[in-house]
Amino acid sequence: MRPRALGLILPLALIGGWDLICRAGWVGENLLPSPGRVASTIYQLAASGELWVHLSATGGRMAAGFALGVLAGTIAGALTGASSLLRAIIDPTIQGLRSVPSIAWVPLFILWLGIFELSKVMLIAVGVFFPVYLNLMLGIAHVDRKLIEVGRAHRLGRIELVRRVLLPAALPSYMTGLRSGLGLGWMFVVAAELMGASEGLGFLLVDGQQTGRPAIVIAAILLFALLGKLSDLGLAGIGRVVLAWQDTDRVTM
């Protein structure tokens, strides 16, 4: 059996157990609606066109925040990874800020940027920035010194050394940072959409909670999970292409 098929076993088992609990009446419908009711809710949202509005709003914010966070994390990670002096100056502060919870940034961004789109995008970018920065910085800083010495022995210039030695060696860590940043970005987008949003899956989540509609809440959670998984699969596919040169053991079942 293929690994991807194996990955469906647990979700299907969870859905089966969920349906069994609902059919047995162990939990009330007002707390845990059945899978069928949640699926019907998603269908109704899609048929009315409301779902696509929320998906496009969340997707647009996520794309903008991810791009901005990746850009900032890449620049900061490359600079601090390549320079021990910059690393000593900058890294302690960034590591301290990395521990700040996502929700703690919300009041500050509302105060500085208001409740409009820029504050939401910036909050998502903060979540994406830290794993991208950390993985790239460590990837560059921990490149095997022997590889650098081999490059210098072949009289590679500084630019060639970066292009042919440092970047390929740090690329696996960088791809890991991108995938971690993507996951955190989806977490931060919920906090971002608490900042006065009138559209988006985060808004749909809160609206369902405030109006006592658990099917809406669970539908929004499942859609977040689906979008996160699909985007991660896309990024993982890109990673397989750019890291195809690696001589690794890819075990298949």
Q: If you write DSSP's letter for every residue of 197-231 in order, what string do you get?
A: -SSSHHHHHHHHHHTT-HHHHHHHHHHHHHHHHHH
In a domain, 106, yes or no: yes
In a domain, 217, yes or no: yes
DSSP H stretches of helix in 142-213: 145-153, 158-161, 167-192, 201-210
Burial of 205 (0-12, 13-18, 19+ CB in 10 A): buried
Looking at residue 99, which CATH number applies to its domain? 1.10.3720.10
In a domain, 7, yes or no: no
pLDDT digit string (tens) for the chain, length 253 residues:
566 678 788 888 999 998 899 888 888 888 889 999 999 999 999 999 999 999 999 999 999 999 999 999 999 998 898 888 989 999 999 999 888 887 788 888 888 888 788 889 999 999 999 999 999 999 888 877 776 677 766 666 666 776 677 777 888 999 999 999 999 999 889 888 877 778 889 889 888 888 888 999 999 999 999 999 999 999 989 988 888 776 665 544 3
In a domain, 31, yes or no: no
Tokens describing residue 11:
């979700």
Give the model's pLDDT for residue 55: 93
Instruction: State the residue range of the domain holding 72.
Output: 48-242
Single-letter code of the amino acid located at 68: L
Q: How many domains does the chain have?
A: 1
In a domain, 224, yes or no: yes
In a domain, 17, yes or no: no
In a domain, 211, yes or no: yes
In a domain, 175, yes or no: yes
Give the model's pLDDT for residue 251: 44
Give the end-to-end CA distance of the chain in Å, rounded to a whole number.
6
* Residue 243 DSSP code: T
pTM over 0.75, yes/no? yes
